[in-house]
Structure formats: C-alpha cells, structure tokens
Structure 1
Amino acid sequence: MTSGASVAGQTTSLPAANQRTVWALAWPIILSNITVPMLGLVDTAILGHLDDVQPLAAVAIGAQIFTLLLWSFGFLRMGTTSVTAHAVGQKGIDNSLPLLQQAIWLAIPVSIFCIIAAQILTPLLLPLFGDDPTLHALTADYLTTRFWGIPVTLLQYCLIGWFIGRGETRIPMLMLITANLLNAGLDYYFVWHLHMGATGVALGTVLADVGALTIALIAALQRDLTLRLPLPDRAILKRMIVINRDLFIRTLTLLIVFASFAALGAAQSTEVLAANAVLISLLLLISNALDGFAHAAESLVGRFLGAAQPQQMRRAIQLTGINSLIAAFILVGLFVLAGDHLFRLLTDNEDMLPRLQEMHLWLWLLPLSGVASYWLDGVMVGAQATASMRNSMLAAAALVFFPIALLPGQLAAWSANGEVSANTLLWLAFHLFLLARAAFLIPAIRRIVQTTQK
C-alpha cells in the first residue's frame, strides 16, 4: 500500500515500508553518525597521547557540561523531525517548510537562555568533578570557547530534524561528515602545532559546527527557505512546544545521568574519569551507529501515521527493530575482535591502559544493552508518544541508575580493591539503566500497535 491520506483534494504518496526504504533512510544517518563519535575518539587519541592526562580529563568534563546544557534542548531536533514527518505524510513534502521556520523561531530564545545559563551554571557544576584547581581551570577555558557555538549548534538541531523528517537524510550526512573531518584536522593542528590543549579542541569544534550550519542553510535555501522568516505561527508553535516539553524533560534526565556518571568516576580519581571517558566515547560510536535505524523509524512512523497507513507503520516498526538488533550484534563482534588494540589506538598512557583492559566486558555489552532503548525512542518520536519517552526515562533514572550508582562505598567495603569495585558498580548501574529505559517503553509500543489495529 503506497497511497496515503487525501488532504484538501491532494493524495500523499509514500513508498512502502520495506528493507530498501529503511536502508535508504538509515545508511546516510549511520555513516554520518559514526563520524560524530569518531570525532570524539580522534579528540581522545590526540589528547590521550599527550604526556599529561589532565587535558583529556578537562575535555571529558567540559563535554559533559556542554552536553548537559545543550542536549537538554535536543528537542529542537527530535520535535522538528516528529512534526515534519507527520506533516509530510498528511499534506506532502512541499508543506513542510513552515515547520522549519517555526523551529528556528524556537531556537532564538533557547539560544539566549542557554548562553545566560552557561555563565551561571558552569561555576556551580565544576566542583562536582573533583577539587583539582588546575583541572577546573582547563575545563573552564574549554567551555568558554565552546559556548561561542551555542546558537550554531541549536540551529543545526532544527535543520537536521527537518531534513530527517522529510526523508532527506543525505543532507545531514553531508553536514556531519564535513564538520567532523574539519574538526579532526583543526583539533590536530591546534593541539599538536599550536599547543592549545583542551582549548584547541573546543575551537576546532566550534569552527567545524559553523561549516556544517553553512551546508545546511545552503540546502534549505535551495528548498525555498528565506532568510526573512514569517511571523511566528501560534498554532504550530503551540503544537511543537507540547511535544518539545516532554522531550526536554526526557533529554535533561538522560544528561543528568551522564553527568552524574562522570562525576562519580571523577570522585574516584582522575585516571578513572579519563578511562570512563574513553568508554563513553565508544558508547557514542555505538549509539550513533544504531541511531541510523532509530532515525529511519522516526521518519517512517511519523509519515505513515500522518498518511493514515497503519499497516505500513507497523511494518516500519518491525523492520527498523530487526535491523537495529542485527547492527548491535555486528558491533559486539567488532569490539571483541579489536580487543586491546582498540584501547591502544586511543591512548598509550600507562596509568589508563590497565584500567581499560579490565573493562572489556562492559564495552562488549554496551550495544546489546542500548539497542532496544535507541530503537524505541525513534518509534516514539515518530508516533509523537513523547510523554511515554519522558516517563520511561524518569523511571529508569530514579528506580534503577541512581539507587545502584550511589552505593559504591558499600561495595568498596566488601572488596580489597575498593576503587575498581566502585567503578564496576557504576558501570553495572549504567547498563541496567539502558535496559530499563526499553523495558518501561514496552507498554507504550503495545498501545501504539493495538491502536493502529482498530
């Protein structure tokens, strides 16, 4: 079934949900998303081969704080994808431009708020990551530079979400690959030739983001976006705000978990913080690779929902889930084959390598622990079931992660090597948190499927 709903005399025609359709949407996102954590791995490798481990730790802390401030507003990406995909299915691709324009209107006050919040919150958050004044100074320098790129990052969210919602995933691919290649080259030049350390990494990231935004704006202008935006549309903005409110709470909760994870690692030692940062960089590689099918689910589920094609929507949910699971097993196999060689590519610091070698199992399990939650998030965004996303995230954090992660002292008392045991407990909490996110979404996915069968 490829014909959709009739709206105002116009029939919206959509391709059927099959492997070809899923992969046409997923492969550009997979390819581009892999470059995102690859950039983090390049940063880790560049800084990890310095004699001093503190620049790497500073970037780990600074990236967590920047992410806490900015990714809380990742709803600009997901919310824009959701409403755009629904509009494309309901009214056709030519009627999606107003959604991008209204998303940009939302990004303007959010940018102002983030810049102000960054200045206020940074001095309050740094003490959570240990009491080393030198490390705090390096982190503050990194953040001062990154904050210049706040408006650029938020506008990228809007444009990427719009293109994914339209099913034009090759544009985000071009944006992200270009940006990350620029970032890798600039980071190497700033750190190794200009000796700018953590600040050089931040500057390279900002300049690369400007390059990605330029590509996105050129592509949007070719699709009739005008630099002179129409006045805000209250009806569209109200609908976007309702969706984005739930996504904001969901994303903020996730980022609090990540920040707490980093802070609890820093409380053990700088070496533990840095070793955990390496695995978190690899987690970003995993999540971004698997998100290709999640983004495909967002676009397909949203468009089939808007076009009133429930059978195709269920088929899209099934296919994206199967492909996500296959991809997760492939990632596990690659990590097992890589073994210690992967860690040695990222750092030759003799204090960190033994810690990383003890953490193989946690790395190997990450794709399997996270795959269901990443895929289901995509389905929920497409179905505009954002309240379920919010509730599952809150429950997983409050009932699973924090009760386990905040007990390292007790486990340390049972072990002769308390520091390692504390970090083991921290990683156990994180894996169970990923599994719980998916488990708490199962009732919601059942409701969606049952509703479309009526």
Structure 2
Amino acid sequence: MARASNWFGRWHDHQRIFAIALPMMISNIAAPMLGLIDTAIIGHLPDAIYLSAVALGAMVLSFIYLLAVFLRMSTTAVIAHAFGAGDIRTQQKHFIHGLSFAIAIGLFIILLSPLLPSTLSLLFSVQGELLALTADYIQIRVWAAPAALINLVVLGVLLGRQEAKSAMLLVIFTNLVNVIADIILIIGLGMNVRGAAWASFGAEWATALIGLILVSKHLQINQFPKLKWQGLTLLARMNGDIFVRSLALQLCMVMMTGYASYYGTTVVAANAVLMQFLVLISLGLDGIAYSVEALIGQAKGQNSRAKIQRWYRLCLTWSILFAMIYSLVFWGFGTHIIAMITNIPEVITNASTYLPWLILLPLLAHWSYFFDGVFIGLGASKAMRNTMLIAALGVFLPVWAVTNWFTDLENHGLWLALSAFMAARGISQWIWLRQHPESIAPAA
C-alpha cells in the first residue's frame, strides 16, 4: 500500500500540479471566448471588409508573436531554477535580461513593420482597399510589440514562480480591456479597423504595465540590477534554440492548411475545422505542460533528482489520462463537435472522413506536449531544437512527400504526416532523455 501511495503521489502533490495547470486551462479557454466577442463586435460592422482587414492584420502580428514565444519559455526555465534554489537576486537578473530581449525584439519588429503589408500582399494577393485597411491596422497595433513581448516575459516569470493564478488574471485582463475598448472605439466612436487596432494596443500596454508592477513586487525589485553578459548570452542561446524549434513547428502546422488548398476549398475548410480539435487538445495538455515546466524547473534548481522524477511520473500520468479522455470524447462526439463548428453539409461530410486521425492524435501528441514541459523545466533548449528538427525534417516532410508523390492518399497523407510528426517528436525526446540521464541528475 505504501509503495502504491508513493507511485501515485500524495494528494498534496496533485493539488500542486493543478494549482498551476487549472488556472492556465481557464486562461486558455477564456482568451478564445473573449476573442469571439471581439470578432463579433467587428463582424457586426456594415461591411465585411473591416472584419477581413482585422483578421489579416491580427494573423500577421500573432504569427510573429507566436514565434517569439521563446521569451516565455526560456524565462520560465531560468526563473524556475532560481526559484527552486531560493535565489531572489538571480531571479531579478533573469527578469531584467528577459525584458532587455523583449524590448529590443519589439523595437526591431517596429522597424520592420513597413515591410509587413507588402509581404502580406505578395503571399496572399491582398490588394486595394483591403490591403490599405490591413496596413492601417498593422501600423497602429505594431507599436504595442514591445508590450506584447514584455507580457511573454512577465508570464514566464509568474509561471516559473508557480504564480499561475496571477498569470491567468493577466491573460483575462488583456482580453477584457480589449473587448471594452472595442465597444467604445468601434461601436461608440465608429473608428472601425483603427478602433480595433487601438483597442489591442491599449490592452497590450495596460497589461504590460500591471504585469511589470506585479512582477516587481513578487521579485522585491527596488532598483533594477545591472545587465550581466553571461546571463544575456545564456538567455540568447536558449531563445535561439526555441525560436528554431517554434519555426519548424509552425511551418508544419501551416502545411496542414496551405497544401490542402491543392485538394480543393472543401478540404481546406475541413482541415481548418479539424485543426480546432488541436486547439481543444491544447486546453488540457498545455495546462499539464505548464505544471511540468514549473515543478521540474524548481526541482532542478533544488538539485533534487528524486523530485524531478516524482513530478515527471505524476505529470505524465495526468498527461496520459487527458489524452485518453480526449480520444474517447472525439470518438463519441467528434461528429457533433464538427457540426458545432460549421453547418455546411459538404464540409461536415469531408471533415468526418478524416475524423479517425483526430481520435488517434491525442494519444500520439500528448507525449510531445509533456516532454516539451520537461525539456523547458530542465533548460534543455538545444535538445528541444534538435528533436523538433528531427521530427519536422526527418519525418513530417518525408512522409508527406512520399504520400503526395507516390500514393493517392491526398489529404489523408497530410494527416498521416502530422500524426507521424507528433509521434516522432515524443519518441525522439524520450530517446534523448534515455541517452542523457545526467540531465535529470543533480548539478555537481
């Protein structure tokens, strides 16, 4: 009985896992829901061109910010290590280093912003008034780029210190301010696309200001510590590794929609609907991954191999359980979920054809979500990069190429490639951990 209790952990252990996971799950749900309200406000304007312009402009900036998620991940890792070691001074330094990168990259994005509308026009054939409105949106909202990246650093600090409730409230605050500002600027003042841009601008900067105050209190910052070259280079190396990893991941995801266009508009629409299942998966698995990052990172900072292994085992158990639940839900209710997302008969029929891939996918994908959390907690950014490149270049692209050129699987080939990619990520990460047992051992 004692051995079983040790394996499944104590009730307090599971409380700690969900003290981090649950608030992040809630924020993952709240942000899209408020985003729907945001879209509905713009969507009720008299001309659809306004919604199209906001959607395109937001897509461009969101893609850039998504690639900059390395700021959140690397900050979580180094803060969790220092938090585990009880070193508040090192936490302060890592926070300042992260802010430096966020501000520098944000200003760089602003400098490059005049090129974004022309790039969008080249890639998607956006022309005329739509391009002009999209350019207006981008040129206003891009001035919040430093704030958006600062918010990633703030989120990293809060997660690294296991302050998940504060992180959740900040995410919800951003979206609430955005919705309220949309109502005032778009409906009240009739500012249309510019109103949507200024609303997002204000929400990002308001959140950054509150986040900076909140973190400064948590870290007891009375005066900002000086930048240290060694700390900057450590963070730069981790950021570079995670950037490459994120870029490879996003290119594979883009393929699922981009190349589907060769199979017809109905297939594109079906894939877009089915990709929402991945959003549903991330609601639960991301929450567990955040817990893994923070708890294993803290244990690493404490030089406790026993704690690393305990959190590894307990969080993996929850990851497997969530994956099984997702697969059962998709198996039992997948067609109903599709019908909730779209009411177009041919899209529903087409999406239902590929539903078996989505039933299988949680069982394959949860390993990569889980191991990403482990690798961030350990600070193993180079391993994250290399295993992602193996999965993307060594598995996704070859599987897609073979099925595309030598079979008539068409869209089934794309889903096969994605499934193999997810499995390869988890397998390659597991192999790396097996080959590097010192990565979960105490520092010398």
Whether the TM-score (by the shorter chain) exceeds 0.5 is: yes
SS in 1 for 2:379: coil
Q: 1:32 is matched by which residue type in structure 2?
A: S
Partner of 1:426: 414
Aligned to 1:441: 429
Does residue 35 of structure 1 match 2:30?
A: yes
Q: 1:82 aligns with which of 77, 85, 96?
A: 77
Give the C-alpha shift of residue 326 in structure 1: 0.9
Name 2:233's counterpart in structure 1: 238
Instruction: Show the counterpart of 1:10.
Output: none
1: CA distance between counterparts of 2:56 and 2:289? Answer: 28
Q: 2-side partners of 1:453 and 1:277: how far apart?
A: 43
Q: Which whole-Å CA distance do the structure 1 matches of 2:329 and 2:368 have between them?
A: 21
Give the counterpart of 1:111 among 92, 106, 110. 106
Give the TM-score normalised by the residue count of structure 1. Answer: 0.80
Answer 1 or 2: higher relative contact order, Cα 8 Å, separation at least 6.
1
Which of 78, 95, 100 is 2:95 aligned to? 100
Q: Shift of the alpha carbon at 1:449?
A: 4.0
Kindly state the Cα deviation for residue 322 of structure 1 after the two structures are TM-superposed. Answer: 1.0
Q: Which amino acid aligns with 1:441?
A: Q
Find the aligned partners of 1:192 and 1:356 in 2 and give their Cα distance: 36
TM-score by length of 2: 0.81
1:383 matches 2:371: no
Which whole-Å CA distance do the structure 2 matches of 1:274 and 1:200 have between them? 30
Cα distance in 2 for partners of 1:265, 1:169 equals 38
**Inter-partner Cα distance in structure 1 for 2:141 and 2:262:** 25
Question: 1:93, CA displacement in angstroms?
Answer: 4.6
- The answer to whether the 8 Å contact 1:85/1:166 transfers is yes
Q: Which residue of 2 aligns with 1:292?
A: 287
Structure 1 residue 277 displacement after superposition: 3.3
AA in 2 matched with 1:29: M
Aligned 8 A contact 1:297 1:375 in 2: yes
What is the alpha-carbon distance in structure 1 between the residues aligned to residue 44 and residue 352 of structure 2?
17
Paired residue for 2:395?
A: 400
Q: Is the 8 A contact 2:274 2:338 kept in 1?
A: no
Counterpart position of 1:249: 244
Task: Decide whether aligned partners of structure 1 residues 21 and 453 sit closer, same or farther in structure 2, where only a CA change above 3 A counts.
Answer: same
Distance across 2 between alignment mates of 1:135 and 1:260: 28
Between structures 1 and 2, the one with greater helix share: 2
- In the alignment, the residues of structure 1 paired with residue 152 and residue 210 of structure 2 have an alpha-carbon distance, to the nearest angstrom, of 13
The amino acid across from 2:152 in the alignment is Y
Residue deviations 1:143-174, cap 9 Å, x none? 44543432221011100001111111111111
CA contact (8 A) 2:93 2:227 kept: no
Q: Secondary structure at the residue paired with 1:96?
A: helix
Give 1:119 deviation, angstroms: 3.4
CA gap 1:158/1:354 in 2 versus in 1, 3 angstroms: same
The match for 1:177 among 172, 193, 200 is 172
Cα distance 1:144–1:266, how it changes in 2: closer, same or farther (>3 A)?
A: farther
Distance in 2, Cα, partners of 1:200 & 1:102: 34
Q: 1:318 is aligned with what amino acid?
A: R
**TM-superposition CA deviations, 1:85-124 (whole Å, max 9, x none):** 1111223456522211221011111112222344335533
Farther off after superposition, 262-271 or 240-249: 262-271
Matched residue type, 2:237: V
Instruction: Quote the Cα distance in structure 1 between the aligned partners of 2:402 and 2:35.
Output: 30
CA pair 19-221 structure 1, distance change in 2 beyond 3 A:
same
Gap regions ≥5 residues in structure 2? 1-9
Which aligned pairs between 1:135-154 and structure 2 lie closer than 5 A? 137=131, 143-144=138-139, 146-154=141-149
Q: 1:216 to 1:113 in 2, by over 3 A?
A: same
Corresponding letter in the other structure for 1:317: Y
Mapped partners of 1:115, 1:71: distance in 2: 16
Aligned position for 1:283: 278
For the aligned residues, what is the CA RMSD? 3.8
Moved more, 206-215 or 288-297: 206-215
Which amino acid in 1 is paired with 2:75? T
Does structure 1 conserve the Cα–Cα contact (< 8 Å) formed by 2:54 and 2:193?
Answer: yes
Indicate if the aligned counterparts of 1:171 and 1:216 stay in contact, CA closer than 8 A: no
The verdict on how the C-alpha distance between 1:289 and 1:422 changes in structure 2, with shifts beyond 3 A counting, is same
- Once the two structures are TM-superposed, the CA of residue 325 in structure 1 deviates from its matched residue by 1.4
Whether the aligned pair in 2 keeps the contact of 1:41 and 1:282 (CA below 8 Å) is no
Matched, 1:223 2:218: yes
Count of residue pairs brought into register by the alignment: 432
Aligned-pair CA distance for 1:439: 1.4
Residue 313 (structure 1) aligned to one of 308, 312, 319: 308
Q: What corresponds to 2:4 in structure 1?
A: none
- Matched to 1:77, the amino acid is R
Instruction: Structure 1: give runs of 5+ residues left out of the alignment.
Output: 1-14, 415-420
Asked if 1:23 is matched to 2:5, the reply is: no
CA distance in 2: counterparts of 1:210 and 1:330, whole angstroms: 38
- Relative distance call for 1:189 and 1:432 in structure 2 (3 A) is farther
Aligned residue in 1 for 2:253: 258
